[in-house]
């Protein structure tokens, strides 16, 4: 029998899915601060995987991690969506595909 180390945050059902395949997951419940640190690591990991694959599945994983961070910070999805909506109203979205090449500032006198 061999143990393969992972040391990464996993989805809640992974241990039971492994068990259904005849494997055993070695897990621990993280402290709140360790959990937040691992969520941040997972966010980076999922973003990197998205960059590699451009897969919608990886975007789904990114959103799930974001939901985990929102839950940790006690921000509801509705509150988050309202913050997003207000920011979109003030600053716009990315629909026009604009690239800022530079800004010309008037000469000061």
pLDDT per residue as tens digits for the range 3-13: 999 999 999 99
Residue 61, token pair as written in the block: 């994983």
State the Cα–Cα distance between residues 5 and 84, nearest whole angstrom.
Answer: 38
State the Cα–Cα distance between residues 23 and 10, nearest whole angstrom.
Answer: 15
CA-closest candidate to residue 62, choices 89, 43, 84: 43
pLDDT in tens, 59-90: 999 999 999 999 999 999 999 999 999 999 99
Tell me the C-alpha to C-alpha distance, in Å, between residue 106 and each of 82, 102, 103, 109.
Answer: 36, 13, 10, 9
Cβ atoms of 35 and 72 within 8 Å: the answer is yes
pTM: 0.86
């Amino acid at each position: 029998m061999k143990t393969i180390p992972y040391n990464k945050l996993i989805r809640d059902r992974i241990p039971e899915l492994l068990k259904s395949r005849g494997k055993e997951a070695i897990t621990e419940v993280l402290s709140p601060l360790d959990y937040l640190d691992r969520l941040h690591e997972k966010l980076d990991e999922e973003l990197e995987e998205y960059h590699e694959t451009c897969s919608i599945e990886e975007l789904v994983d990114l959103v799930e991690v974001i939901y985990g961070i929102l839950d940790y910070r006690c921000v509801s999805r509705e509150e988050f969506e309202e913050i997003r909506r207000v920011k979109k109203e003030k600053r716009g979205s990315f629909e026009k595909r604009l690239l800022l090449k530079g800004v010309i500032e008037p000469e000061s006198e």
